[in-house]
Structure 1
Amino acid sequence: MSIRHSAAHLTRSIAQRPVARSPVGLLDRYGSQKAGMASVVPPVTQNSVGKQGPTAMVFMNMGGPSTTDEVGDFLSRLFADADLIPLGPLQSYIGPLISRRRTPKIQKQYAAIGGGSPIRKWSEYQCEEMCKILDQISPETAPHRPYVAFRYANPLTEHMYEQLIKDGFGRGNGGRAVAFTQYPQYSCSTTGSSLNELWKWRNRLEGKRATGEVNPDGAIMWSVIDRWPTHPGLVEAFARNIEDKLAEYPEEARKDVVLLFSAHSLPMSVVNRGDPYPAEVAATVNAVMQRLKHSNPYRLCWQSQVGPSAWLGAQTSDTVKHYFERGHTDMILVPIAFTSDHIETLYEIDQEVLHEDAKGHPGVKRAESLNGSPVFIQALADIAHAHLQSGDSCSRQMGLRCQGCKSERCLEQKRFFVGEQAKILPTVR
């Protein structure tokens, strides 16, 4: 889910692809044949300092419990994160109380979607398949080693970092790692929180707390892909899934189907602080509609509001109910900020919105999530390849704090990743 994604639903109860080196058109570059499941990628040992490869590719996401037994620990970590759910000075006390109280109900919700979240399966598959493409199109940085780092579920960020070290990255061996956010649109509560956590464990395992030095020799050289809301491959993947779903309607009715793009909402306090997420989500929607030649009426709405405070709206559930009451019985919901299925698509949209708010009407449908889409996986490889060739440690946007940001942790994290630029440039030809 994308992973602010599974969290918000939980908290709501509280209050492959032809490879080409030269530019080609999207319809040629991104294949439509379904990709098979990935084989296990053998371990890569980082044993050479100064070479461009191997390269660790780290997918960052919120994660989700793979089984119902993992729900309690997942919720405990989630409610302890003030970047995602700010509970004030009593967070260490209130968080555990809320997580214990919510666990039984949330376990039932995960049981209803098959006994756990599929996000780990999809994240590992997407990363492994992306790395196979990168090995072909970017041999100078190969081999590419896939890793997944979840914020609140296994594999946790610290476990990923420990595995990097075991595999020969860092701790005097050097090596490069790319933190690749799986939230296409940046928010301080999602990508920002994951980067804060990565920075924390870098300091504990390789930084001053571990070695006595801020930047010890032979530490992992990090760079970040921190946002990609309008990448052509991402846009193409969304557009094709929408076109596939539109094809299920009678031809004479297709142009009148309402497209409802749904993204996770944010508290207005976060929006007013200057968080770039709403603008970046809107940019994705606009790019997709341009690709579709504005074939249908559409709206952007927001799901998973938590508690009584003001949140970014209109809410997805309210939007479906209101349009349904006005006679718009043909609608397609498009999870525009999520890169795979998770509880907020499989439960919140599929079971609550479609079956309850839309009363199970056959005209109200959901576009497929990106999951194993070959178009999407090729896009991931293209994004990563461009980043590896760029010499950038992060985007220009990432170095700019939100207007109202007062977090010293955020400041120091940004300083670290921006500061990695000086280490990356000498390795780029």
Structure 2
Amino acid sequence: MRTAIVLFNLGGPDGPHAIKPFRVNLFSDKAIIRAPWFIRVWLSRLIANSSAKAAYENYQLMGGKSPLLELTEKQARALETVLGLDYRCFIAMRYWHPFAAQTVKEVKQWAPDRILLLPLYPQFSSTTTGSSLSDWREAAAAAGLAVPVTSLCCWYDDPAYIAATAALVREAIEDAMAQKPGLPLRVLFSAHGLPESIVKAGDPYQAQVEASSAAVMAHLADTKVEALVCYQSRATPQKWLEPSTVEAIAQAGRDGVGVVVVPIAFVSDHIETLVELDIENRHLAEQAGVPVYVRARVANDDPDFIRAVAGLVRRAQVPGLYQGGTACAKKHKDCPGAGMV
């Protein structure tokens, strides 16, 4: 059977001209700004304009654009190599090219026997996976793409994914230990934040981030390091999940412990790892007196990670919803698989 694998991710501007429209698209999404459309449109432009200069400067640090598309393409090609000729990967970004409508046409032209929708978000959130899946369904319906579809909901505790992540974290811990032998270390599992109101409304993201982090730490029990889950990239005035990564770094400075930052919710490098964590937060750590600051590598096209994703693909054989990990509790009603098992 010819299987089309659609890899979903956030997307990113492909040049300075795209920075503002990308951010407008992002903050116009009703899954992120949960307000009437006319307020949402106004807010998206207000947020994009208010931080336009800082956003432009940050993207300049990465050559004027996001590397996310190129890195996702590498993941796609690596995944095809592992899976073989009956599989082909397509990319659909949520807020910048290639959009779902364009990718739907490419998939339809290839004429697969089945489609697997595979969000590159291990932890489900209505603001990421949920939004991407809804966007795809609308585009597929408009294009008349009628092929059996399997939607991968989440894979936050998939054993192979956890093992691949733990190997990257161990590498970072060993780096930090080598810099200052004997120094106490704290692993900060830094995930993109969410407003608390979204989690209280039934989004499982926080619970899944905590589960991923705990599973990784179970692999690292012999390292005897402590761990904390924290959240980065606050973008609106609402109360967001706590503690923030900035607060966690400041506390590490007060406690005199080294820090290993793990971008637990990301599988590809982009502005939030390459600029926010590597540059801005590293500077904050220096100011706070943190004795060692190391950021763990994200997966990108790491062979163990690609093999883990290939395993998810091979197991997702039945049309409908497939969960790579444990089903969500019923209270997480925003998850399409809540309470299934």
TM-score in terms of structure 2 length: 0.89
How many positions carry a matched residue from both structures? 331
2:295 matched residue in structure 1:
366
Q: Given the alignment, which residue of 40, 51, 57 partners 1:108?
A: 57
RMSD of aligned Cα (Å):
2.5
Distance 1:225 1:254, change over 3 A: farther
| Aligned mates of 1:349, 1:251 — CA distance in 2 | 19
- Aligned with 2:196 (options 261, 268, 281): 268
Residue aligning to 2:96? 153
Q: How does 1:306-325 map to 2 (within 5 A)?
A: 306-325=235-254
Superposition misfits of 4+ residues, deviation over 6 angstroms:
398-401
Alignment of structure 1 residues 8-407 onto 2, 5 Å: 53-89=1-37, 90-135=39-84, 142-169=85-112, 175-206=113-144, 219-248=146-175, 249-250=177-178, 253=181, 256-293=184-221, 295=223, 296-328=225-257, 330-359=258-287, 363-388=292-317, 391-395=318-322, 397=327, 402-403=332-333
Give distance in 1, aligned partners of 2:128 and 2:78: 24
Gaps of at least 5 residues in structure 1 are 1-52, 136-141, 170-174, 208-218, 419-429
Which ranges in structure 2 are unaligned for 5 or more consecutive residues? none
Residue 91 to residue 57, structure 1, CA distance change in 2 (3 Å): same
User: What is the alpha-carbon distance in structure 2 between the residues aligned to residue 158 and residue 354 of structure 1?
Assistant: 39
User: Do 1:246 and 1:254's aligned partners in 2 also have CA atoms closer than 8 Å?
Assistant: no
Which letter does structure 1 place at the counterpart of 2:12?
Answer: G
Distance 1:244 1:221, change over 3 A: same
* 330-339 or 81-90, which deviates more: 81-90
Q: Decide whether aligned partners of structure 1 residues 270 and 196 sit closer, same or farther in structure 2, where only a CA change above 3 A counts.
A: same
* One-letter code aligned to 1:367: A
Q: Distance in 2 between matches of 1:128 and 1:399?
A: 35
Structure 1's 98 and 298: CA in aligned 2 closer, same or farther, altered over 3 A? Answer: closer
- Shift of the 123–223 alpha-carbon distance from structure 1 to 2, 3 Å rule, reads same
In 2: Cα distance, 1:287 partner to 1:94 partner: 38
Q: 1:123 to 1:387 in 2, by over 3 A?
A: same
Deviation string for 1:32-54 (max 9, x for gaps)?
xxxxxxxxxxxxxxxxxxxxx21
Residues 310 and 97 (structure 1 numbering): CA distance in 2 closer, same or farther, change over 3 Å? closer
Which residue identity lines up with residue 255 of structure 2 in the other structure?
A: R
* Contact 1:57 1:177 survives alignment (8 Å): yes
CA offsets, 1:269-319, max 9 Å, x none?
111111111111111111101111252111111111233321110000111
Q: Name the TM-score, length of structure 1 as normaliser.
A: 0.72
Taking the aligned partners of 2:106 and 2:153, their CA distance within structure 1 comes to 22
Q: The residue matched to 1:250 in structure 2 has which SS?
A: helix
